[in-house]
């Protein structure tokens, strides 16, 4: 494993929910990152945000690490979940709730329901 891979593995293992994104959860710097961070924030999920724009090695390394070509990338309990489209679909279908429940991650169920109601 390379140094970048070791660093990424440490980040993924270091928190229950990790979002590799462009910008930060307070100030996303692309629409896709903003959407995923917005869902996580709205649902009250405690997550670690990693700004890939701050480090080119991490920006490319995370794509190699997950074998996924785009940012953002969401990890829950060390498992790669997906990018913006997948997280959006999982949120709307209720699959994200199920995964969070399975992994023991706390979130605001009423907020998740509101997202689905608003997009029905």
Distances in Å between the alpha carbon of 90 and those of 28, 59, 86, 87, 115? 21, 24, 6, 5, 11
The DSSP code for 34 is H
Q: What is the DSSP letter of 56?
A: H
User: 84 labelled as ligand-binding?
Assistant: no
Contacting residues for 81 by C-beta, under 8 A, at least 6 apart = 74, 75, 87, 90, 99
Within a 10 A sphere around the Cβ of 42, how many other Cβ atoms?
A: 15
Annotated binding site: 30
Annotated binding site for [2Fe-2S] cluster: 30
């Amino acid at each position: 494993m390379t140094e970048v891979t070791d660093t990424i593995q440490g980040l993924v293992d270091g928190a229950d929910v990790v979002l590799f994104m462009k910008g930060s959860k307070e100030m996303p710097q692309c629409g896709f990152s903003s959407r995923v961070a917005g869902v996580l924030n709205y649902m009250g999920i405690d997550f670690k945000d990693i700004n890939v724009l701050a480090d080119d090695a991490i920006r490319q390394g995370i794509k190699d690490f997950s074998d996924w070509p785009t940012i953002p990338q969401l990890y829950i309990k060390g498992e790669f979940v997906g990018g913006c489209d997948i997280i959006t679909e999982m949120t709307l279908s209720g699959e994200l709730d199920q995964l969070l429940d399975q992994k023991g991650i706390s979130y605001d169920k009423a907020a998740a329901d509101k997202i689905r109601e608003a997009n029905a």
